[in-house]
Amino acid sequence: MAAVFINIISFNVPFPANYGGVIDVFYKIKALHAQGIKIILHTFTYGREQSEELFKYCCQVHYYQRKTGWWAQMSTKPYIVGSRRGERLLENLLTNEYPILFEGLHSCYYLGDERLSKRLKIVRAHNIEHLYYDGLAKSSTSRLKKIYFKKEAFLLKYFEKKLSYANYILPLSTSEEQYFKEKFGESKVLLVPIFHANSSVQIHFPARPYILYHGDLSTAENIRAAIMVIDKIAKKDVSIDCVLAGLNPHKSIYGAAKGLKNVRIEANLDDEAMQILIREAAVNILYTDQVSGVKLKLINVLFNGHHCLVNSKMIEGSALDPICKVVLDDPEFFLYNIHRYLNKKIEEEEVEERRRILYSLYNNDEGAKKILSLNDTT
């Protein structure tokens, strides 16, 4: 990219980098900074504090309040988009002529604004958002949430057409790459895999004989997965030690695990403690019933953990099938494979195969270079 500067609009403050979307944003910022790019960060605040850490990598950081509440809900635009608007953001973007990287459909309120028509505009697609929200609607048990998710899915599908104003769309999985190419043309879409915290594959020996499921244990998708581990594994074989770890475990997880001596729930661990659990687990269980991009916890486990047991939806579009133990989507098959791998040492050949694939496909420096090349093709 010929320009030394780039504007990045983030849907939330990207530090601390402790959940999926902001991890991609933060490590993308670090990788671009390492390439010598000066970053002007525009970020909305949503339950997170301003961060001095960002000034290590950004020459300017501008914060904006989200416009939340019932009035934002009444907008004809998706709530996740309409609540991230503000004239001050547009005014700041107009003080320069540098390229703009929009993080997620969330940040694209001004993507089609006439005043930005001559700018190089790049959208990082974190998901196919309307499909993601449709999945949330189907899985939610709350009637009000179902209504909200269905409405949001409908509005997001319509708003997605605004991506035609972007010069480039950067999906993070091969399945989403194909979707956006069919919608907006092959020349506009470039696959840039997810950015992450890892630089080298490091498997620590020996493993300890327990299985681990981890994630944000307050979200519906992860609550269902955690309860699956309890019901289909821990209750079926009490000799298997199960650890469930993550943010704000839902009360239903505690309820499902009540009375089970082989289940331990670890809540709100810091990064170091979580990494120790991942590194020492003989088997990391990664299960989802909803396809949505590439899961960062999958990348993290493959860089740091022993056996990685997944279902097909967890790895869809990731190209990581060869280095995971893929089981059928029926949870019953997890138990069989846990017995198979719980006391089996991971082979050095498997570790080398991880290095070969991960360093090739999920390399932050190469991802940054892909983004920087886009200005040369316009």
3-state secondary structure of 304: helix
357 & 368 share domain: no
- Evaluate whether residue 248 is within a structural domain: yes
CA dihedral 144, 223, 157, 317 (to 10 degrees): -170
9 & 146 share domain: yes
183 & 255 share domain: no
- Write out the chain's pLDDT in tens, 378 residues: 445 899 999 999 999 987 778 999 999 999 999 999 999 999 999 888 899 999 999 999 999 999 887 666 667 899 999 999 999 999 999 999 999 999 999 999 999 999 999 999 999 999 999 999 998 898 888 899 999 999 999 999 999 999 999 999 999 999 999 999 999 999 999 999 999 999 999 998 888 999 999 998 988 889 999 999 999 999 999 999 999 999 899 999 999 999 999 999 999 998 899 999 999 999 999 988 877 767 888 999 999 999 999 988 888 888 899 999 877 677 777 888 899 999 999 999 999 999 999 999 999 999 999 999 997 655
124 & 220 share domain: no
**200 touches 362 (CB < 8 A):** no
* Six-digit token string for 170: 């950067």
- Evaluate whether residue 202 is within a structural domain: no
- Evaluate whether residue 316 is within a structural domain: yes
270 & 168 share domain: no
259 & 353 share domain: yes
pLDDT at 27: 97
185 & 111 share domain: yes
**244 touches 226 (CB < 8 A):** yes
Nearest-CA neighbor of 333 among 306, 304, 312, 350? Answer: 312
181 & 305 share domain: no
H/E segment holding residue 12: none
242 & 339 share domain: yes
**pTM of the entire predicted model:** 0.89
Nearest-CA neighbor of 7 among 61, 55, 65? Answer: 61
Q: Domain residues for 88?
A: 5-196+363-377
H/E segment holding residue 109: none
Provide DSSP, 193-234.
PPP-S--S----SSPEEEEEEEEETTSHHHHHHHHHHIIIII
CB burial class (10 A; 0-12, 13-18, 19+) of residue 294? buried
- Evaluate whether residue 144 is within a structural domain: yes
| 3-class secondary structure per residue, 305-350 | CCEEEEEHHHHCCCCCHHHCEEECCCCHHHHHHHHHHCCCCCCHHH
- Evaluate whether residue 282 is within a structural domain: yes
157 & 232 share domain: no
- Evaluate whether residue 58 is within a structural domain: yes
- Evaluate whether residue 54 is within a structural domain: yes
Domain count, the chain: 2
Neighbouring-strand partners of residue 246: 215, 267
Distances (CA, A) of 249 to 219, 252, 255, 296, 316: 9, 8, 11, 19, 26
User: Other CB atoms closer than 10 Å to residue 40's CB: what's the count?
Assistant: 20
In this structure, what CATH number is given to the domain that contains residue 32? 3.40.50.2000
| 3-class secondary structure per residue, 280-299 | HEEEEEECCCCCCCCCHHHH
146 & 54 share domain: yes
- Evaluate whether residue 279 is within a structural domain: yes
177 & 235 share domain: no
